[in-house]
Amino acid sequence: TTVPSKVEQQAIGSFFSRLDDLITLQQRKYERLQHLKQAMLRKMFPKPDEQVPELRFEGFTEPWEQRKVSDIATLRRGLTYSPSDVVSPGQGVRVLRSSNIVEDRFVLRDDDVFVREEAVNIPFSRDGEILITAANGSTRLVGKRAKISGLTGKTVHGGFMLIAATEQPDFLCALMGTEWYRNFLRVGVAGGNGAIGNLDSHALECEKVSIPSNAEQRAIGDFFSNLDYFITLQQRKYERLQHLKQAMLQRMFV
């Protein structure tokens, strides 16, 4: 093993120690925001069998009302296609899959599948709709969701996915981060013993949820959308510091 002088060893060690401290600090910022989000989801949505949440924005006092999910969102299944329909990346129509949802965040990927437009027999996906994983070999990934944004070109969702179209996507995304949705997934997802996990879309449509007025939905949706923005920002800073460390390790050692 090739090693430098003790003085250079100390300088290199000090550099990476400070970098590790920054990475740890950034990770804690990210985790604190995640914990804040979970705490606010518990406080800003009613508990089971209650009509009002613990914490509300000023000016909202009316009790929440019970509605079926189908009353506030339209679910539609994705595109089934054959291998012969697949075309070169960037050509044809992009197909959204489970890999486009990363920790409740929507991402476009370089390895996204594209199919010829003639194979598409469902409506195109649009910004503001919610992409949901409806089937997956890993049952724990079934039900993950994200609001679609930043689409470029014609896009559809794949056969193992659902799309929820709603007037208040940020509110519905937040609602799907609450205990209600986790309880539904525990009951409404079939799978296990090697079987592919499947979300029962009809059961989801029939689920009853508590919702406030449209104005309060917008306020809640905006709050969690902004919070998600800051969470993503901190996460990216954390990832950049990790990449910096790996790059410096490659450059500063023989």
CATH number for 65-211 (one of 3.90.220.20, 3.40.50.300, 3.10.450.50, 1.10.8.50): it is 3.90.220.20
Residue 239, helix vs strand vs coil: helix
Count CA within 13 A, CB hemisphere, residue 18: 6
Angle 42-45-49 from CA coordinates, rounded to 5°: 100
- Over the stretch 156-186, which tens digit does the pLDDT of each residue have? 999 999 999 999 999 999 999 999 999 999 8
Q: Where along the chain do its domains lie?
A: 1-61+212-254, 65-211
CA proximity to 230, closest of 56, 26, 54, 18: 26
Dihedral angle sign, alpha carbons of residues 225, 230, 234, 237: positive
Q: What are phi and psi of 120, to 5 degrees?
A: -90, 120
Q: What is the mean pLDDT of the chain?
A: 93
The pLDDT of residue 50 is 86
- 1-61+212-254 and 65-211 in the same fold: no
- Over the stretch 34-48, which tens digit does the pLDDT of each residue have? 999 999 999 999 987
Does residue 189 register a pLDDT over 60? yes
Does residue 193 register a pLDDT over 60? no
Does residue 20 register a pLDDT over 90? yes
Q: What are phi and psi of 153, to 5 degrees?
A: 80, 180
Residue with token string 């029939």: 206
| Token pair recorded at residue 194 | 């090697």
Q: How confident is the model at residue 92 (pLDDT cuts 50, 70, 90)?
A: very high
Does residue 140 register a pLDDT over 90? no
Give yes or no for a contact between 201 and 134, defined as CB atoms under 8 angstroms apart: yes
Angle 78-79-85 from CA coordinates, rounded to 5°: 160
CATH class of 1-61+212-254: mainly alpha
| Token pair recorded at residue 214 | 């449209």
The pLDDT of residue 187 is 84
pTM: 0.89
